[in-house]
Structure 1
Amino acid sequence: MRYRIAALVMASALATAVPAIAVPADATPPRIAPDSAGPKPPGPTPPPGTTPPPGAPNGEAWAWTQLTSNGTQIRYVSTDTSQTCPVVRYTLGVNRNPHSLHRVSTPGPTSQFPTTVCELRVPLTASNAVLEQTSIQAATVHPANRQLPLPKWTSNTRPSKIAVIGDAGCEVPATGPVQNCANHQTGWPFQRIADSAATVTKPDLVIHTGDYLYREDPSRENDKAANPGCTTFADRASWDCVIADFFRPAEKLLAAAPIALTRGNHEDCTTHPGGAGGAWFRYLADDLRSNGSCSVYPAPSLIPAGTLTLASVDSSFADPSDNGSTAQRGIYARQFQAVNQAALQSPANDFFVVTHKPLWMVKASGNPPNSAEWLTRVLDAAVADTSLHRLADNVRLVLSGHIHLYQMLDFNSPRPPQLTVGSSGGTLDNGPDDTKVVGQLIGTQPPQAVTQSITQEQNPPQNLAGVFGYAVLNDNAGTWNLTFHDTAGAVRGKTCALSASKTNKSFACH
């Protein structure tokens, strides 16, 4: 199946009320960039008439816009041999100037990553970003029109429509059943889902709850013709496989809206040197790396989206066997303590915790009082070990994936609802009978009863297999409306409105 935190400058009174706890040793230093912060100093701006390096264009480039704890970034990855970064032109106020992207890494350390990676932080108030054609050395560039989406919100507003996807890659394990990667309608419909989200939903922001790279042995896939460079066991977790599993199917969606990413357990550090975790930190992580390194417990990231903050907690290695172990609770308690500290500093902002493994998702259930099978106990225990013994009041939702279906649970209490979206491409899982979930006691200190469970399944209770699709959160005059959408983008099931209360968090669904 299917985490870094911005610097917390704590006032002394707050530091007294909520003791700070150090982050793990392998975490990068904590930091946060406010929405209103300006860009990094731009690189040298090429003078008018500057010509690109000699030689015919070669290779292929992909560009997208990613929300990070450093603000909005345009990212660009190319296999062309020039190892240069292009120029983007955007409008800021009355000025429209060119800005050079900064080079982050060049090809290496293995043949899996034959790429030059570039990025540029863009001010929140910028608009109309376009890559300059004369600065591109790749023969092919995506998006073809070279236009990059930028946030439509300001520091005092927030995204009005958010699409949530997760667990999107095509499952090609080393052994066992292989997903039908060539069938984009019913076999592996991630591209169809992404296209529908882009053209039907038209979101301002996309959130991915993790798990991008599923091709553990590409030699077993049935879409090799469409993915040259991702066809052998040695190609696994290569740049070409990152394209195959994520960038190519998500191309329209990435061209339509900025995206915020959290890491899944498939982007681990154990597959092989330079593997999926290395690919994550080279291309997709909050803070990119050039040396192929991979961290198991990076600190959380605070990702600003106006008056909404996404607190991304890397749970990729939480309870690796999914057997209920709580051995890592101290590690994750420090992570959630930092999230709470940040939330307490910005009480007027909504916070969403985005973490691949869910805190309270129910996978199976008998009739109460028989116990339910829920995930992930170590994360729940870690929240209970924070100074508040819970998540801060303005943490409105927990967004996760990992289990390959859609489920919304709420508790009508200060505990935020758990939204699980793992239904966007990977082979679907079976879920519970919702009627047997309501009333179940989930979590610790103290356990809380589920007051509402909505799981999208094919034909419950006879067929509890999940349904492919994605979630949409619409800003609704200070709160959020939630809907589930099928592969065609149509709403399936109820529309749910999140309560404004921070002490009785629940959805009213109709």
Structure 2
Amino acid sequence: MTLSRTSLVLLSAAALAGCAGLQPRPALQSAFVILGDDGAATARAIVSSWSCPAIEIDGNVTTMSVRSPLSAIPPRPQTGDAKDRPAPVSSPVQSCETPLPASARSVSVAGQSLPIPVKAPTRIVVIGDTGCRLKGKEFQDCNDAEAFPFARVAASAAAWKPDLVIHVGDFHYREDPCPADRPGCAGSPFGYGWDAWNADFFTPARALLAAAPWVVARGNHETCVRGGQGWWRFLDPRPLRPETSCDDPARDGIGDYTDPYVVPLGGDAQLLVFDSANTSYKGFKAGDVRIEKYTGTYRKLETLSARARHTIAVDHHPLYGFGAEQDKKTKEIRIFGGDAGLIQTFGAIQPRLLPANVEVLLSGHVHLWEQVSFSTDHPTQFVSGFAGTAEDIVPLPATVAPGTVPAPGAVVDAMSSWIDGFGFMTMERKGADRWDVVIHDRDGRERNTCTVEGRRSRCALAQVPRAVSQ
């Protein structure tokens, strides 16, 4: 019998399919799209198997590349109170990735559709500080959807149908074991392995990861001594190298710092993302290596900011925001300003702290929502750190006393805040440098509205009332 060329092709395809059927299917844990340098998109997948999944881009099927091989995250030497406690064993996973061409119109991983980047996004969700706090003497009820509502917040944000999601840092919070007398977090995974990362971020964020590509800023919870190993394996947009992986404490001086990058927004606007994870709110002493590191960061910000007329900066630590703390004895409330380490290093170069065409700074770190605008030439500051972790409950004032500034020379013109309420922030573009900002609660209901024009912003409410019920 003579076989035609078509028959041979079909038989070969059937044979290959049969062989493929013998291979274990990658157990997909999560799949999403991350944006990095110049807006370059990368599809990421996390699997609990040794093989990376298939990715289909515009009908063409290939296998994703290994970013980090199948293994548990190796434990680092324990310090402080944890030094005598064995590190928890965590599930092994493999991280996989594939760069996406700018022309891509459809992408799926293991049959799961992924969102496609929009060249000029007009609808942006901003969230931060999303994990469930288990550390020291502070323990959140991670098993209670009311006390840890990040999944609800993420689903509501996804329903808003964003073009882009910005996370301003602090993804991982489950560091210590839940105490035996706390049923609200009983059985929670902890430590820096996949199980804690999955419970804290990837599982509750699933709907929002599927809704739009993400831009991610690194928080202090993702430094090498904390969640840095997971940060590098799962989220950082750059290539993973042994010296940056945070596996070796001797190389933390490399793994704890990354270069800033821009994500174009179209219309002569851009995001400028920078890593402030390892700064210090106390400032730096003479000779601290971080002075040199963050001085270098600022020089790169200067160069990158020149690429567009309108720049929105993104980092974890606010430069121009306020926080509040209350004395336990006197009940007196003290207002404090932005991050001292960055103000010290950036301010030594530029009193404004950020380059001249940075009009807005999006940050987290303080567990509330906040807006501050200035009569001086400083960017407007938004703090969106209210999506999941235990909230700050000491109120900020509707206005501050004359002379009270969050950073040297930054004279407050208007401010707004919401404490003790979970939710997310959205930005909808109305012009080259104009945005409508809405603050939503965990169910997507509007709690406040703001307008942004250039470096100025104004909100409808100076203080959002606490919700009677969530």
In structure 2, the residue matched to 1:347 is 308
Counterpart pick for 2:318 among 342, 358, 378: 358
Distance (whole Å) between structure 2 residues aligned to residue 469 and residue 376 of structure 1: 24
Distance (whole Å) between structure 1 residues aligned to residue 282 and residue 348 of structure 2: 20
Distance (whole Å) between structure 2 residues aligned to residue 77 and residue 304 of structure 1: 27
In structure 2, the residue matched to 1:251 is 206
Change (3 A) 1:337 1:58: closer
In structure 1, the residue matched to 2:276 is 315
Counterpart pick for 2:46 among 69, 77, 97: 77
Structure-2-length-normalised TM-score: 0.79
In structure 1, the residue matched to 2:141 is 180
In structure 1, the residue matched to 2:215 is 260
Alignment of 1:216-255 (within 5 A): 216-220=175-179, 222=183, 231=189, 236-255=191-210
TM-fit CA distance, 1:353:
1.5
Identity of aligned residues (%): 28
**Number of positions where the alignment pairs a residue of Structure 1 with one of Structure 2:** 408
Distance (whole Å) between structure 1 residues aligned to residue 270 and residue 368 of structure 2: 25
In structure 2, the residue matched to 1:89 is 56
Change (3 A) 1:147 1:223: farther
CA deviation profile, 1:300-321 (whole Å, cap 9, x unmatched): 23334445432222111111xx
Alignment of 1:40-119 (within 5 A): 50-51=16-17, 52=20, 54-57=22-25, 59-69=27-37, 71-80=40-49, 83-91=50-58, 96-108=59-71, 110=74, 112=90, 114-119=92-97
Alignment-mate amino acid for residue 115 of structure 2: P
Counterpart pick for 1:467 among 421, 438, 458: 421
Stretch of structure 1 that moved more, 216-225 or 302-311: 216-225
Contact kept, 8 Å, 1:365 with 1:433, in 2: the verdict is no
Distance (whole Å) between structure 1 residues aligned to residue 457 and residue 401 of structure 2: 14
Distance (whole Å) between structure 2 residues aligned to residue 58 and residue 433 of structure 1: 49
TM-fit CA distance, 1:360:
1.8
TM-fit CA distance, 1:56:
4.5
TM-fit CA distance, 1:416:
0.6
Change (3 A) 1:422 1:124: same
SS of the equivalent of 1:180 reads coil
Counterpart pick for 2:232 among 259, 271, 281: 281
RMSD: 2.7
Which runs of 5 or more structure 2 residues have no equivalent in the other structure?
Answer: 1-11, 75-88, 247-251, 327-332, 461-470
Contact kept, 8 Å, 1:497 with 1:509, in 2: the verdict is yes
CA deviation profile, 1:37-71 (whole Å, cap 9, x unmatched): xxxxxxxxxx9654326244464431111111161
Contact kept, 8 Å, 1:324 with 1:375, in 2: the verdict is no
TM-fit CA distance, 1:198:
0.6
Alignment-mate amino acid for residue 310 of structure 1: L
TM-fit CA distance, 1:387:
5.7
The reply to whether residue 485 of structure 1 matches residue 440 of structure 2 is yes
Distance (whole Å) between structure 1 residues aligned to residue 413 and residue 178 of structure 2: 46
TM-fit CA distance, 1:355:
1.1
Counterpart pick for 1:209 among 154, 168, 178: 168
Contact kept, 8 Å, 1:104 with 1:289, in 2: the verdict is yes
Counterpart pick for 1:383 among 336, 340, 346: 346
SS of the equivalent of 1:127 reads coil
SS of the equivalent of 1:434 reads coil
Distance (whole Å) between structure 1 residues aligned to residue 352 and residue 295 of structure 2: 10
TM-fit CA distance, 1:329:
4.1
Change (3 A) 1:205 1:431: farther
Alignment-mate amino acid for residue 286 of structure 1: P
Change (3 A) 1:224 1:508: closer
Distance (whole Å) between structure 2 residues aligned to residue 359 and residue 262 of structure 1: 15
Change (3 A) 1:246 1:433: closer
Change (3 A) 1:168 1:85: same
Alignment-mate amino acid for residue 69 of structure 1: D
TM-fit CA distance, 1:396:
1.9
Change (3 A) 1:438 1:72: farther
CA deviation profile, 1:172-219 (whole Å, cap 9, x unmatched): 11x3231111111x20011110010011x2111111111111111244
CA deviation profile, 1:276-314 (whole Å, cap 9, x unmatched): 111111111122426443522222233344454322221
Which runs of 5 or more structure 1 residues have no equivalent in the other structure?
Answer: 1-46, 134-145, 458-465
In structure 2, the residue matched to 1:497 is 451
Change (3 A) 1:361 1:405: same
Distance (whole Å) between structure 2 residues aligned to residue 116 and residue 266 of structure 1: 22
Change (3 A) 1:279 1:430: same
Alignment of 1:29-40 (within 5 A): none
Alignment-mate amino acid for residue 229 of structure 2: G
TM-fit CA distance, 1:123:
2.1
SS of the equivalent of 1:323 reads coil
The reply to whether residue 423 of structure 1 matches residue 386 of structure 2 is yes
Change (3 A) 1:451 1:239: same
SS of the equivalent of 1:454 reads strand
Structure-1-length-normalised TM-score: 0.74
Contact kept, 8 Å, 2:29 with 2:46, in 1: the verdict is yes
Distance (whole Å) between structure 1 residues aligned to residue 351 and residue 322 of structure 2: 24
SS of the equivalent of 1:107 reads strand
Distance (whole Å) between structure 2 residues aligned to residue 388 and residue 433 of structure 1: 25
**Post-superposition, which runs of at least 4 consecutive aligned residues in structure 1 deviate over 6 A?**
none
